[in-house]
Chain A
């Protein structure tokens, strides 16, 4: 059974770069049916999709964060990474990794979703 687990520093200083890793176990990154996504939830706010990446490296980013986000994949380690630059207190959130399924592939639908989530990791931005 596929599982995902986030890891990374829990505290980042303002203006620095937040770096997180998502390790995929119990399955392969190699699938054109899925992407691997990052989603965050600031305290008291709604879940926010940050972006998704396919195993070949094709990325899809939230336009509101695109200028600061970089995602990459390391298939040898079965890991997906997230970097968010120039962080501020507004980037304080629980960051989750999730498997992003393609609706059309899964059920001939329209509008993808996320079917396997990690527990999430708390990242605070503070000096």
Chain B
């Protein structure tokens, strides 16, 4: 089954830079479909963080950035802050499954 693979967890000290990878395949990211990222703080609804691989919605700090290359995408958080502790999900479209697909999520811990 074509799915998006993310690391279960990443951690960093305040002020550091962390990256979260999202690995897909030729039927989703590699097929040219955009990647979107969501942040879910504890006990809150998911929030759109990055859309269209690299774009930040209004109000999202520029500490968050996205990139895409080949069959993978990445989310980078620079200047990590305690408030960034959350689960992060990537999402794209899969043409083989004819459905929108999500990663399993990555928990970011601020040390």
Contacts and interface: CB of A to CB of B under 8 A. Distances in A.
Contacts of B35: 111
Interface residues of B, number: 29
Interface of A: 45-49, 62-64, 96, 98, 101, 103, 106-107, 109-120
A98 B103 CA distance: 17
A113 B36 contact: yes
Given A117-B46, A119-B44, A120-B45, A110 B32 contact: yes
Give the residue among A47, A48, A64 with the most B Cβ atoms within 10 A: A47
A58 B47 CA distance: 26
Contact of A46 (B33, B46, B47, B102): B102
A63 B52 contact: no
Given A46-B102, A46-B105, A107 B89 contact: no
Given A113-B34, A120-B45, A106 B89 contact: no
